[in-house]
């Protein structure tokens, strides 16, 4: 159990192939670099992103008509994300970060916009991207953003500030959410496409983080940034709809990322418990340790099944807002429980940076916060009961 993905649903030949590809890539390219990237703190490992592109991992989720791998279903994305984040949560999420950018584009964009903005993300030398929603005073309440987009001749002028934007500065393309009607909440939010070299767009210094340091976050600043009308995604006021549709997908995929990280910590603790001896026998033979490992294994399996159920449901066209929140909540809190339990199993060595479990515990804390905190997930679930 938990050593490889349990197949509650049969996999296609293509899915088996990409799972194996990602498993090998995680083992050979990601896992060996995890500690180095963590220690570097604020350096994006663009070389790993480039290697992943060479083997087709960075664009597998983009439709074939735009040059991608054509595996657009959320279930396949979950299979991939688990394997990559088993290697390292931060690097795994970085490698697939263009998928988060492409979701609102697929939800709101015209065929011409999709061709223009998705095509550069495919092939062996793809651009990096970022999605800009969060602001210094607006996190969980995305409808309360105050960055404005004022209509002018030929387009809009954007003014404001974003915070905690993944890949900011490193990214070449941005999807930005701003208010076109300040008197409205969600109905006033509109999405826009920008490039890195747009005049008036600047970014701050890298933000120091607890974990997942492979994804460098910065603030973004918009000083009278002009965006032509053809770079608006959807109609005015449709941005929040596109964002919520994106969240339904991303929360499920992040649930898979949390499962992968939990699996890594569980496997490491299990191997340690089999070899570490105390009181004359391997510590796995002590009931306290054995029961802890049993709880870790059980929660991982349950979380994976819930994530896969949510993925299959959204792929079938079912409204999965509540189920997506359940999947993310359960998987993220499982990952926190499992990594904490792994540190406890290793004892003093678990607290040491010589071993990876303390890093993984820091890394997975983000999964309980990003794309909606655990508190917000419970609110979403309760509203969908």
Return the closest-CA partner of residue 99 out of 123, 79, 118. Answer: 118
**Which pair of tokens denotes residue 208?**
């120091």
341-350 contacts at long range (C-beta below 8 A, 24 or more positions apart): 341/265, 341/269, 341/292, 341/293, 341/295, 341/296, 342/265, 342/266, 342/268, 342/269, 342/296, 344/292, 345/269, 345/272, 345/273, 345/283, 345/289, 345/292, 345/293, 346/269, 346/272, 346/276, 349/272
**H or E stretch at 179:** strand 173-179
Indicate the Cα dihedral angle 23, 27, 30, 34, nearest 10°: 130
As a whole number of angstroms, the distance between CA 228 and CA 199 comes to 12
371 is catalytic: yes
Question: What letters, b where the CB count within 10 A reaches 16 and e where it falls short, cover 234-269?
Answer: bebbbbbbbbbbbbbbbbbbbbbbbbbbbbbbbbbb
Show which residues are catalytic. 371
């Amino acid at each position: 159990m938990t050593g490889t993905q349990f197949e509650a649903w049969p996999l296609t030949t293509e899915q088996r192939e990409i799972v194996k590809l990602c498993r090998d890539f995680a083992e050979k390219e990601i896992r060996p670099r995890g500690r180095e990237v963590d220690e570097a703190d604020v350096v994006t490992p663009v070389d790993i992103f480039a290697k992943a592109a060479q083997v087709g991992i960075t664009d597998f989720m983009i439709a074939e008509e735009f040059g991608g791998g054509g595996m657009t279903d959320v279930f396949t994305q979950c299979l991939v994300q688990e394997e990559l984040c088993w290697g390292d949560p931060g690097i795994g999420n970085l490698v697939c970060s263009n998928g988060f950018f492409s979701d609102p584009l697929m939800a709101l964009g015209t065929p011409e916009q999709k061709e223009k903005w998705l095509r550069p993300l495919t092939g062996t030398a793809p651009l990096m991207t970022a999605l800009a929603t969060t602001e210094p005073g607006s996190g969980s309440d995305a409808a309360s953003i105050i960055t404005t987009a004022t209509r002018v001749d030929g387009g809009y002028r954007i003014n404001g500030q974003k915070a905690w934007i993944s890949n900011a500065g490193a990214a070449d393309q941005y999807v930005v959410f701003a208010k076109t009607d300040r008197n409205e909440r969600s109905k006033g939010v509109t999405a826009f496409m920008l490039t890195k070299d747009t005049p008036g767009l600047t970014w701050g210094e890298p933000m120091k983080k607890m974990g997942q340091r492979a994804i460098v976050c910065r603030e973004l600043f918009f000083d009278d940034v002009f965006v032509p009308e053809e770079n608006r995604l959807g109609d005015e006021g449709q941005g929040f709809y596109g964002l919520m549709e994106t969240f339904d997908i991303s929360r499920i995929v992040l649930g898979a990322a949390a499962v992968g990280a939990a699996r890594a910590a569980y496997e490491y603790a299990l191997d340690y418990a089999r070899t570490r001896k105390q009181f004359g026998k391997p510590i796995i033979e002590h009931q306290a340790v054995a029961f802890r490992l049993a709880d870790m294994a059980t929660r991982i399996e349950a979380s994976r099944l819930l994530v896969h159920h949510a993925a299959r449901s959204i792929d079938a066209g079912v409204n999965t807002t509540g189920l997506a929140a359940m999947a993310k909540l359960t998987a993220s809190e499982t990952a926190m429980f499992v990594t904490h339990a792994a540190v406890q199993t290793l004892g003093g060595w678990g607290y040491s940076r010589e071993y990876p479990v303390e890093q993984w515990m820091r890394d997975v804390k983000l999964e309980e916060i990003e794309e909606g905190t655990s508190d917000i997930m419970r609110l979403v679930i309760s509203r969908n009961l």
